[in-house]
Amino acid sequence: MNKLTTDPLMGSARILLVILIGLTILGMALLAIVAGALPTVLREQAIISLTEVGAPASAIWALVAAVVMLVGLLFLAYRFFRELYAIVATVNEGDPFQPENGNRLAKMGWLALAAQILGVPIMIIGGWFSQFTPEDGSVDLNVGISGGGILLVLTLFILARVFRKGAEMREELEGVV
Question: Distance of CA 53 to CAs 58, 62, 125, Å?
Answer: 13, 15, 16
pLDDT in tens, 2-53: 554 478 888 999 999 999 999 999 999 999 999 999 999 999 998 888 888 8
Which pTM value belongs to this model? 0.85
CB atoms within 10 A of CB 77: 19
Contact 72, 132 (CB under 8 A): no
pLDDT tens track for 118-129: 999 998 998 888
How confident is the model at residue 174, as a pLDDT? 75
User: Which residues have a Cβ under 8 Å from the Cβ of 152 and sit 6 or more positions away?
Assistant: 112
Task: List Cβ neighbours of 116 (8 Å cut-off, separation of 6 or more).
Answer: 144, 145, 146, 149, 150, 153
Report the pLDDT value the prediction gives residue 1, as an integer from 0 to 100. 44
- Taking only the tens place, the pLDDT of each residue in 81-140 is 999 999 999 998 888 888 899 999 999 999 999 999 999 999 899 888 888 876 655 556
